[in-house]
Amino acid sequence: MTQWSLSQLLAGLHDTIQHRLEVARRTLAHPGTKGDASEGVWIDLLNAYLPRRYEAAKAHVVDSRGAFSDQIDVVVFDHQYSPFIFKFDEQVVIPAESVYAVFEAKQAISAAQVAYARAKITSVRRLHRTTLPIPYAGGTYPAKPLIPIFGGLLTFESDWNPPLGEPLREALQIGSSEGHLDLGCVAAHGYFAYNKQRSHYDLFQGGKPATAFLFKLISELQFSGTVPMIDVLAYSEWLSK
């Protein structure tokens, strides 16, 4: 009789993600189709394994002042308390207050793709976010401080040799704090994460990167808490414009 094995379950999760990304990269010829397929792999992973309070989608992010982000490949947002998410055909628009994390999904990591991801992440972090006091039976809690929006880059492979080394670390350190990458996965080779205590990027090579990345993201989300209470009326002002 086949015995249950946690190590095999976790390895199987990674192997499935790596195989799907590899098939998309090797078999789909059109760049747009290839990109859509890769984004879909990561979105499927997050929607399948993140707690139900979270949802992942390709989307634009909007703030109450009417500013929009660039289109983001993977947005992790609040599913439980978000008052409105706009959906029209395949287009999704999410209020800035509802966002937990944003990722770009590309075929291979390189200095150019790191810079591209930083620009996309910046377009989200620059948006205005509201936060309101929280009423409860005994009174009102002060408005919750805004949580940091995690940013990252997801790829199948790397243009560097070695795949995760000093060139990657150097590329991650270039640019402003608004475009800072917190976390990323190179499914065929490893993953990286910013170590706040050491102000340094940790690079993890080998193993089962897709599964390790998922666990790391879940851990970060656990400590980030819940998104702030959104000022819906700030958005309603646009009804008269």
Active site residues: 73, 104, 106
Residue with tokens 């990458």: 181
For strand 72-78 and strand 54-62, is the pairing parallel, antiparallel, or unpaired? antiparallel
Name beta bridge partners: 23.
Answer: none
Coil/strand/helix, residue 99: strand
Q: Which two tokens stand for residue 97?
A: 């207050």
> Is the omega angle on the peptide bond into residue 142 within 30 degrees of 0, that is, cis?
no
Name beta bridge partners: 74.
Answer: 103
Coil/strand/helix, residue 98: helix
Which residues, 6 or more positions from 118, have their beta carbon under 8 angstroms from its beta carbon?
151, 175, 179, 180, 181
Q: Say if residues 96 and 128 touch (Cβ distance below 8 Å).
A: yes
DSSP conformational letter for 94? E
